[in-house]
Amino acid sequence: MKVASEWNAGDMGCGELVMLLARKMQELEAEEVLCLTATDAGAKEDLPAWCGMTGNELIQAAHPQYWIKRKKG
């Protein structure tokens, strides 16, 4: 899979993480992939839930790395 951008969010908690993640995803073109590193234990549940709510696709998850594809249009 081709990754358009990478971001290491470290141990950032859910609230701040998803707000900044939304901004990072807006910087991508439709269907581009972001490789996110998030070490916070809550990311395992928070990131799939965020993707489900926003329409972005969680392509792969292997904590602490997550590959998220920006939604179409």
Which of helix, strand or coil describes residue 20? Answer: helix
The pLDDT score that the predictor gives to residue 31 is 97
- Give the count of domains, the chain: 1
What CATH number should be reported for the domain holding residue 41? Answer: 3.30.110.40
Give the per-residue pLDDT at 25.
98
Pairing of strands 5-10, 33-38: parallel
Owning domain of residue 60: 5-69
Q: For residue 29, what are the CA distances in angstroms to 24, 33, 50?
A: 11, 9, 19
Predicted local distance difference test score (pLDDT) of residue 40: 97
Please say if the pLDDT value at position 57 is more than 80: yes
Report residue 1's pLDDT band, with 50, 70 and 90 as the boundaries. Answer: confident
